[in-house]
Amino acid sequence: MLAFLGKRILETIPILLIVSVLVFFFTHLIPGDPARLVAGPDASLEEVIQIRENLGLDQPVWKQYLDYMGGLFTGNLGTSLVTGHEVSSMIADRFMPSLYLTFLSMGWALVFGVIIGTVSAVFKNKWPDLLGMLTAVSGISLPNFWLGLLLIQLFSVSLGWFPTGGIQTWQGYILPSIALGAGIMAMIARFTRSSLLDTLKADFIRTARSKGLKERILIPKHALRNSMIPVVTIAGLQFGFLLGGSVVVETVFNFPGMGRLLIDSISFRDYPTIQALLLLFSFYFIFVNLVVDILYSMLNPKIKYES
């Protein structure tokens, strides 16, 4: 296992280097001049040129990239072109709210998704199954931004139960997590149902039933555990997308997370902040996939990792 982990960590280095190249050069293709945005609409051409020189934007792109990577290897993510603050401190301020939102969204989506999928499989083609799959289809079909607006209108504007945005209290996490996790919950429910139905047809399940093992023990202890590998796969992939995929939801709820910071940075052509966020999202996604691989061996001891 240690050899496998070491190999996977080494494999991430060239991947992140390739991602850094793509992110850097595509970021610089975004239309607009950051120096003009920083100087303001009334600034003269000479002032814009001076700001461009001060920011280092007058250098060739390849040199800007080398300078950026040199700082990156020393732990320096650069300075925001707009605020003048260290990018690392800006991300640190937004990281924990986004991480809390991600864990909350995935947590309730995983719990309810597995429960709905399990109940649907046990009561196949009966009303609990139809109700569960209707919920799953609805969760997949509804765009998260539209669901977010609907939740704001119903629970914030009409009922006044939750704030419309921000995170002044813990209640500010509730509606964004529902909007963000609804689609994931639906996918997990469908995968759980499909996988559990296949497992319930297996020989070892029929043998256990013939020996008189009760369903309340058979389903959670034997059938469900052997059905969780595909569920872990889809949950892991979606968890990797959550942190970077919360851009729309954070914008709808005016949530002070990294997704909102990315949107603001793109609007102002803040190259260092955009690059740092996209690299962080890439690293996060790679890390989550590594954790999923480790969970495979915990769920199924037959899976062995070789170096």
Q: Say which range, 44-58, 89-103, 143-157, 289-303, has the weakest mean pLDDT.
A: 289-303
b/e per residue 14-40 (b: at least 16 CB within 10 A)? eebeebbeebbeebbeeeeebbbbbbe
Cα–Cα distance, 265 to 270 (Å, whole number): 5
Confidence of residue 303 (pLDDT cuts 50, 70, 90): low
Tokens of 62: 């390849």
- What count of Cα atoms within 13 Å lies in the side-chain half-sphere of residue 74? 7
Domains of the chain in sequence order: 94-268 (1.10.3720.10)
Q: Say which range, 12-21, 171-180, 264-273, 284-293, has the weakest mean pLDDT.
A: 284-293
Query: Phi and psi for 43 in degrees, rounded to 5?
Result: -70, 150
- Cα–Cα distances in Å, from 58 out to 50, 52, 86, 190? 9, 6, 21, 53
Cα–Cα distance, 227 to 197 (Å, whole number): 9
Based on C-alpha coordinates, what's the Rg of the chain? 24
The model's pTM is 0.75
Q: Say which range, 98-102, 189-193, 225-229, 276-280, has the weakest mean pLDDT.
A: 225-229
- Tell me the mean pLDDT in the region 3-15: 73
pLDDT tens digits along 226-251:
777 778 777 777 776 776 667 888 88
pLDDT tens digits along 126-140:
888 888 888 888 877
Instruction: Say whether pLDDT at 300 is over 50.
Output: yes
Give the angle subtended at the CA of 276 by the CAs of 274 and 282, to the nearest 5°. Answer: 100
Span between the terminal Cα atoms of the chain, in Å: 8
Give the model's pLDDT for residue 268: 79
